[in-house]
Amino acid sequence: MALPTKTNLETMDYSYGGVPFVSVATKAGIDLNTLDYAYGGVPFWAVIPSGGGGQTLTLTCDAGSYALTGTAVTLVYTAAAQNLTLACNAGSYSLTGTNADLTVKRNYVLACGAGSYALTGTNADLTVTRHYTLTCEAGSYSLTGTNADLAVKRNYVLTCGAGSYSLTGTNADLTVNMTQAYDAIIATITTASDASSVTKSMVNSTTWREGTSGTWLSTDCTLTAGKVYQFRTPLSGMSWSATAVLPNIKASVTVDWDTTATPITSVGTYFMVGYAYGCSSLTSLSVPDTSGLTSVGDYFMYYYANGCSSLTSLSVPDTSGLTSAGTYFMLGYAAGCSSLTSLSIPDTSGLTSVGDYFMAYYASGCTALTSLSVPDTSGLTSVGAYFMGAYAYNCTSLTSLMLPSATGWFGDHNIDWSVPSSRLGYLYGYTPDATSQTAWQALTASGKTLYINYIQDPDFVLVQEPPTPVGGIPKQFLYYARMRGN
């Protein structure tokens, strides 16, 4: 087949920019293999839709992946810029495809309860602001999470008895209001149904009345069985006297402040000296709540229950508010109380200095006593003469010394409490914990305080409550006796 001439081509086809080209769409019978015209010196042939002219295509599609199939066909795609605004719930997002960008910006305001929060995804920020006002009962509180603040404010009014108190936590204050003291004492005396009648003369400005109301009298008082009497003694009338304020009658006695009197925070010399001295028939005796006192004079509760041989128990004053004590502080407090089996001590942890005869003869002559506490002297920096002399003199049944957590004054000073030598091998010391046990065991060395008072073996200082005596013999020795066949 001969090639068409230029004329033939010009008359059968169109030109594009002065360059001839052939349109095959409507021309039949042309042998394309022999068509040999060039564009820019390069032979070409083109297949285009009829109608001629260049075409611009815009592809609109969802995000995805695209493939072009065919022979000798090329698709050139230049991605247009895409600006997407995506409104969506929190989550994870993925865009697939070529030359496609997805920018996601999310701004959240999250209102939520206390807890832990996590946000997953790419280029996503979560800002959580939480402000709480928490009203709660006493306890411990924990808040977990990020950038979360918890402010806890607690205001408590604590009403409690005498004792030791510990407060844990941050920004918490504890105010302890101690019992108010007054300048007069009232003893309520309840006589036993089988009590013998007793006539008591008033001393130290004391007045009396039968029952718990009525006129106070200063005359002699005759007490009979099965009745209630009250004795009132002003602090101003208290002085050194060999005569007890209380009657020596079989009775139980409750001692308290006269709340109609003038409030005080300190007491002077001779406070309740010999108050129940020689009252061998009393079966029960309390003490006023002295927790509100901040200072006391000499002879504080000297000989308070001395000679009360029928008492089987005896409470002690609360001295936790004191920082110093004068001379003869509680000397002979329970001396001669031969029916007592145990005796505690006041809180002396706040004392920094004490005068002569501090707690001397405190339990002297308590022949039935098996357990005796030792005062806390951890705060003492100075003491007077005869410090705790004869503290446990003639305590012939003693098996247990209840030791405080710190050795205190006794760690560097060797003090003789006059424990009978017969207690060697029977007397044990008991500490609150292992640390204090080690410290007190060191004082069983020759010449040290425990050694002087007949605890001369470290194995006799234990961390536990004392054993219950059986027949006056410690359980340990009953066990040893059985092992030996005795």
* Number of residues assigned to the chain: 486
Per DSSP, the residues of 400-468 read EEE--SS-THHHHS-------GGGTTT-EEE-SSHHHHHHHHGGGSTTSHHHHTT--SGGGEESSPPPP
User: Regarding beta strands 207-210 and 38-39, do their DSSP bridges make them parallel or antiparallel, or are they unpaired?
Assistant: unpaired
Q: Which is more confident, 325 or 27?
A: 325
Q: How far apart are CA 402 and CA 429, in angstroms?
A: 6
Residue 390 pLDDT greater than 80, yes or no: yes
Under the banding of pLDDT at 50, 70 and 90, the label for residue 486 is: very low
**What whole-number distance in Å separates Cα of residue 401 and Cα of residue 369?**
11
Q: What is the CA radius of gyration of the chain?
A: 51
For the residues 336-342, what does the mean pLDDT come to?
96
How confident is the model at residue 467, as a pLDDT? 52
Instruction: Flag the least confident range among 24-28, 66-70, 236-240, 243-247.
Output: 24-28
User: pLDDT class for 329, splitting at 50, 70, 90?
Assistant: very high
Q: What is the reported pLDDT for 274?
A: 96
Q: What is the pLDDT of residue 240?
A: 86
- pLDDT surpasses 80 at 210: yes
Across the range 324-331, mean pLDDT stands at 96
pLDDT exceeds 50 at position 168: yes
pLDDT for position 86: 44
Q: Is the pLDDT of residue 206 over 80?
A: yes
Tokens of 348: 């002396």
The pLDDT value given to residue 242 = 77
Which residues on adjacent β-strands are paired with residue 430?
402, 462
Residue 52 has pLDDT above 90, yes or no: no
Residue 169 main-chain phi, psi, to 5 deg:
130, 175
CB contact at 8 A, 399 and 471: no
What's the whole-number average pLDDT of the chain? 77
Amino acid at 141: Y
Instruction: List pLDDT tens digits, range 223-281.
Output: 999 999 999 999 999 998 879 999 999 999 999 999 999 999 999 999 999 999 999 99
Using 50, 70 and 90 to split pLDDT, how confident is the model at 464?
confident
State the CB neighbour count (10 A cutoff) for residue 306: 24
CA nearest to 395, candidates 450, 334, 446:
334
Strand order in the sheet with 461-462: 342-343, 371-373, 400-402, 428-430, 461-462
For the cut 60, the answer to whether the pLDDT of residue 436 exceeds it is yes
What's the one-letter identity of residue 63? A
pTM equals 0.62
* pLDDT score at 351: 95
d(CA 99, CA 108): 29
Mean predicted confidence (pLDDT) in 38-66: 49
pLDDT digits (tens, 9 = 90+) for 89-120: 555 555 455 554 545 444 544 455 555 555 55
Which of 27-36, 291-300, 369-378 is predicted least confidently? 27-36
For the chain, give the percent of residues with pLDDT over 90.
58
> For the segment 346-377, what is each residue's pLDDT rounded down to a tens digit?
999 999 999 999 999 999 999 999 999 999 99
Give the CA angle between residues 395, 447, 422 to the nearest 5°: 30
Element (H, E) at 19: strand 19-20
